[in-house]
Chain A
Amino acid sequence: MDNSDIHSLAKYCLNLIEHKNSETKCTDIYFEKSKYINIEIEENSIKNNEIGEDNGVSIRVIHKNGSLGFAYANKLDKITIERMCKIAIKMMKVGTPDSDFKDLPGLCNSYPVVKDLFDKNLKNLEIEDSLNYVNDLIKTCEDDDMAISQSGNFASGYSKTYIFNSNGLNVSRKDTSCIISSNIIVKNKISNETSSGYERQIERSLDKINAIKVANLALEDAKRNLNRKKIKSMKVPLLLTPKSTIALILRPIAAAVNAETFQYKRSFLVGKRDQKIGSDYLSIEDNGIIDGATGSQEFDDEGVPCKNKKIIEKGNFLKTGLLHNSYTAGKEGVESTGNAARSSYISIPSIGITNFIMKPGDISFEEIIRDIKEGIVLNYTGDSVNLTTGDFSGLILHGNLIKNGEIKDPLNETMIGINIMDLFKKIDAVSKEYKVYGAFQAPYVRIKSVNIIGGAD
């Protein structure tokens, strides 16, 4: 199925719905074609090679009273699509009125130019040509004395998306991405204690992938967590690595500034707009137009242009700091921020981040840790913040004691308890070094003092 087929199918669909039903206010049609390759490592050996493809369509129809009907299928023939149109209308008719729905977006005069979102080397990449990345992972693990096993993968994908709507919108885009991941297990040969470390890299283009670096970071991560000790409870400074900055600061804020969550009053930031919610070190933006970044797009999944938005500036939660799709924007009487997101053709647009960034500071990591006499560095926790209350009490899965500015013993059975509104206020240093993990960019962050609950008697 090529471009002209999709355009004529979309046109046929839009006409069909318009003629079938005078109660319809607007319609959008979303097509997605994708393909991927994936090489998997288990037990530090290539185990599986995979190739796949998908294509699908979804149809969203909205009644003059705001009721929404939705249907999707992964067969792109005329008969299936015609049936989906009829089902979507049937679904729309049984829904309830929703006066909060205003309209779908129209076609814009101009869309931002964002470079390097598509890499033709990736689109045409064959499994045979990607094996060297996986071999780099395997060799790094093999060459290490303490590493006993590794699982990981290299995957690349290409997708083409088309969005059409009854307001004349007609846009399409091509995306590529690739990911390399490594989970390495190390063993202390004397005590038999084992530990694991994880690292991954996601990019839009192939030439940025560095497999050896990813495997080495996973190894370091694993080794830093070997010979774990229980500690006593204490109240000390907490140093967040970029991974835990994402878990404790960026993810909760990303969820809390989602306009849908906010409008339903499910967010811990409700009632705090235009207020100071953190120390001067806390500045966050959502930037959808960075060249080559994983979270960048020229337009969102409803066809609205992406842009850069300030969310929190020097601790102030800006009044304009919410992320909108066309529905939540219409409800609030503002413009969509270009944050409509679908997981694929199977979902109606919800709201998602583009590139969610905590602004780096101007001092180095070394300077930040140097001042900590006794403290904890948290690398990761499997816990997440309670998004309605902001409470966080989590187990330190990877974390170490800091003594006199140096990273020491890793921790076992140690927990942290804090409300994150309190954590935001206690940020007293942010590093100039930062890391990018997918759509998040995060620095090292120091929190003045936090309750640590130790497992030692």
Chain B
Amino acid sequence: MEISDELNEFDEKLIKQLNQIAKEKVEYWDIRTEVNNGTSLDFTDQKSKEISSFEIINCGIRAFKNGGWGFSVLKDLKRESIKLGFQRAIKLACLSESLSKIKFNITPRDPLIDQFKNHRKKKLEDIDIEDKINLVKEHEKVASDYSPYVKNTRTIYLDGHSQNLYLNSFGSNIIQDLSFLRLFCLVFTNKNGAIESSVNSVAGIGGYEIAETNKAINLSRKTAEEAVALLDAKSPVGGKFTIISDPKLTGTIVHEAFGHSCEADLVLNNESILKDKIGERVASEDVNIIDNPSMGQGSQFNLPYELFGSYFVDDEGIPSQKTIIIENGILKNYLHNLETSSRMNVPPNGHGRASVSSERPQVRMGFTYLEPKDWSLEEIIEDTKNGILCEDFQYGYTHPTSGNFQFKCRFSYRIEDGEKKEMMRDVALSGMILEALNKISAIGNKKTYNYSVGMCGKGGQNVRVCDGAPYIRIEDITVGGLN
């Protein structure tokens, strides 16, 4: 692997010097350094609004002593500045230690020395900028020409390459080389003054092949189709309903309403409804929820690239791995970083992640999914007397200490006597997550199982994530509407 000059700065000699500086002053330290570059193409109504390129270097140095952390961020990677930054982190850790009331240690781990690079069939740097532009222009044209109701289109193409180095006081020395691509389409429609919109994206870890899959090629047509269909959708009537939720919405509920409360940092800070619930039943017996951000899972969805939420090792040098969160309705594990696993006396499971090296790792999800069971979608619909079929979402959130959630769906259809009826827009669902997980009355089979991609925000940091789920049915959900 070809290594960037900035990362080569951290040679054996420097690491030895850093170890000397840290000796007997702190119990643990780590350094993350990354060199990022990429391209962004932003088109509106078939015109380019921004065509840009960037080169960014980040470095974050962390030191730890008996419950106190110090963190120092620098952008100038000269040897002397690195040493100064390192000393600063140590000083800050000692200051934190002198003030912190909660004392704990970081449990030592075996060092990991390795290099990782994701597979890319078509290297991003080998593709001409003109070709990328033509791809975006084509998407814009398809969306604009789709219908006279389409009034405004936007397509954003982002690609990037990141090479990062991870070093810690256990002796780990890891290089990860990742390339990714994201494509967004946004379409606004207008009919007699009523405005609607839809948005879709494709994203993954790999090369330019991500933009050439069928899903990517059809992205703008699908988005325009949806934005036009919504023009005739009706506002829902509020009340209590049986909900059939598609993989995109279910995955988001699993991630937002449940997954965050499994993050052990929130558990320790009393911000989780799952505190002290390991080993207890928290969902109906059919429910199995897993987080597995390891590489090699794109193929189960017939993707020639890696899932967007995957990584080789987390930002604390722990390999990504499969973690069972709920097994047959019983809560089995929280998600951990080095700190929370040390404090709760369990092995870390590879969920210490930061958006960039200049931010501190938090406990974050990777690819969180609900395992499929045995219902076909047709069976679920036929079996439902009165309900709402909800597809896709606009946004969703959960109140951490109560578990009260709210999700805004993109498309919804009334279900009457086992039949799918007219489309509705802006259906808002709310409930209490632990009640909802116990009211799941049907879980779809493998054929109904799918994944979706996104960026998840927590504490001001956005990280790449995926979620997965089949169609499911939940009873007694409150639906808010304007009527």
Give chain A's interface residues, CB within 8 Å of chain B.
Answer: 42-56, 67-75, 80, 83-84, 87-88, 90-92, 94-98, 127-128, 131, 148-149, 151, 185, 194-196, 228, 233, 264-266, 268, 270-271, 346, 348, 382-384, 386, 388-389, 391, 393-395, 397, 412-413, 415-419, 451, 453, 455, 457
Are A386 and B426 in contact (CB-based, < 8 A)?
A: yes
Q: Give Cα A391 to B196, complex, Å.
A: 11
Q: Give Cα A413 to B71, complex, Å.
A: 40
Are B92 and A127 in contact (CB-based, < 8 A)?
A: yes
Task: Please report the total number of B residues contacting A with Cβ < 8 Å.
Answer: 77
Which of B51, B74, B358, B406 is most buried by chain A, counting CB atoms within 10 A of its CB?
Answer: B51
Q: Give Cα A54 to B59, complex, Å.
A: 11
Once A47-B100, A96-B46, A413-B404 are accepted as A-B contacts, the answer to whether A127 and B95 lie under 8 Å apart by CB is yes
Once A54-B75, A67-B48 are accepted as A-B contacts, the answer to whether A185 and B56 lie under 8 Å apart by CB is no
| A-contacting 9-mer, from B16-24, B161-169, B414-422, B474-482 | B474-482
CB neighbors of A among B97-152 (8 A): 99-102, 129-130, 133, 137, 151-152
Q: CB-CB contacts of B394-422 with A at 8 A, as 1s and 0s? A: 11010111101010100000000000000
**Residues of chain B contacted by A384 (CB below 8 angstroms):** 395
Output the nearest chain B residue to A148 by Cβ-Cβ distance. B270
| A-contacting 9-mer, from B295-303, B330-338, B345-353, B428-436 | B428-436
Are A48 and B478 in contact (CB-based, < 8 A)?
A: no
Are B426 and A131 in contact (CB-based, < 8 A)?
A: no
Interface status of B70 (Cβ within 8 A of chain A) = yes
Are A233 and B238 in contact (CB-based, < 8 A)?
A: yes
Q: Give Cα A234 to B432, complex, Å.
A: 21
Are B74 and A389 in contact (CB-based, < 8 A)?
A: no
Are B50 and A412 in contact (CB-based, < 8 A)?
A: no
Are A47 and B56 in contact (CB-based, < 8 A)?
A: no
Are B152 and A265 in contact (CB-based, < 8 A)?
A: yes
Are A72 and B52 in contact (CB-based, < 8 A)?
A: yes
- Picked from A51, A149, A455, the residue with its CB within 8 Å of the CB of B73 is A51
Interchain nearest-CB distance for B32 vs A (Å): 13
Q: Give Cα A93 to B358, complex, Å.
A: 33
Once A52-B74, A383-B408 are accepted as A-B contacts, the answer to whether A389 and B53 lie under 8 Å apart by CB is no
Give chain B's interface residues, CB within 8 Å of chain A.
Answer: 43-57, 67-75, 88, 92-93, 95-96, 99-102, 129-130, 133, 137, 151-152, 188, 190, 193-197, 235, 238-240, 265, 268-271, 358, 360, 394-395, 397, 399-402, 404, 406, 408, 426, 428, 430-432, 478, 480-483
- Picked from A270, A383, A389, the residue with its CB within 8 Å of the CB of B406 is A383
Are A389 and B195 in contact (CB-based, < 8 A)?
A: yes
7 CB-based A-B contacts, threshold 8 Å: A46-B96, A56-B56, A68-B50, A69-B51, A80-B55, A391-B235, A397-B399
Once A75-B57, A151-B269 are accepted as A-B contacts, the answer to whether A393 and B480 lie under 8 Å apart by CB is yes
Are A94 and B51 in contact (CB-based, < 8 A)?
A: yes
**Residues of chain B contacted by A151 (CB below 8 angstroms):** 269, 271
Q: Give Cα A56 to B55, complex, Å.
A: 10
Are A418 and B482 in contact (CB-based, < 8 A)?
A: yes
Question: What are the 3 A-B residue pairs with the smallest beta carbon separation, nearest first?
Answer: A52-B73, A415-B480, A70-B52
**Residues of chain A contacted by B73 (CB below 8 angstroms):** 50-54
- Picked from A50, A54, A397, A457, the residue with its CB within 8 Å of the CB of B92 is A50
